[in-house]
Amino acid sequence: VQLVESGGGSVQAGGSLRLSCAASGYIDSNYWMAWFRQAPGKEREGVATISTGGRSTYYADSVKGRFTISRDNAKNTLYLQMNSLKPEDTAMYYCAADRYYKNGANWYRRDEYNYWGQGTQVTV
């Protein structure tokens, strides 16, 4: 099982980046997938999550209206389009996956996800 993130980099404030997460192994369209991030000295926090079919999404308040999570199940790939980036978005961004249903009360909990990528750095 592998989750491999890509697309990170350095960008000026106000700019955009698109992160990708390629899933392999038995992680497929039956898994909820999410993006988390961790800044130096801070805890890992949920950024956004998306349901198996892509119909349900949840976002952290800090990114609503600026970030969009999406998935292409045919390609087993998760995306995070990040617009209007701010310095406070600087962090290591991680892809995560889990088989079980998520809701507004648990989607952002780190312990709700069993599979993790190695991360991609975003610097604003």
3-class SS of residue 19: strand
pLDDT at res. 28: 79
> What's the pLDDT tens digit per position in 64-107?
999 999 999 999 999 999 999 999 999 999 999 999 999 999 99
Task: Output the average pLDDT for the chain.
Answer: 95
**Nearest alpha carbon to residue 91 among 79, 82, 99:** 82
Burial class (CB in 10 A: 0-12, 13-18, 19+), 73: middle
pLDDT over threshold 90, residue 26: no
Residues 6+ apart with CB under 8 A from 124: 10, 11, 12, 13, 15, 85, 86, 87, 88, 89, 90
Higher-confidence residue of 95 and 29: namely: 95
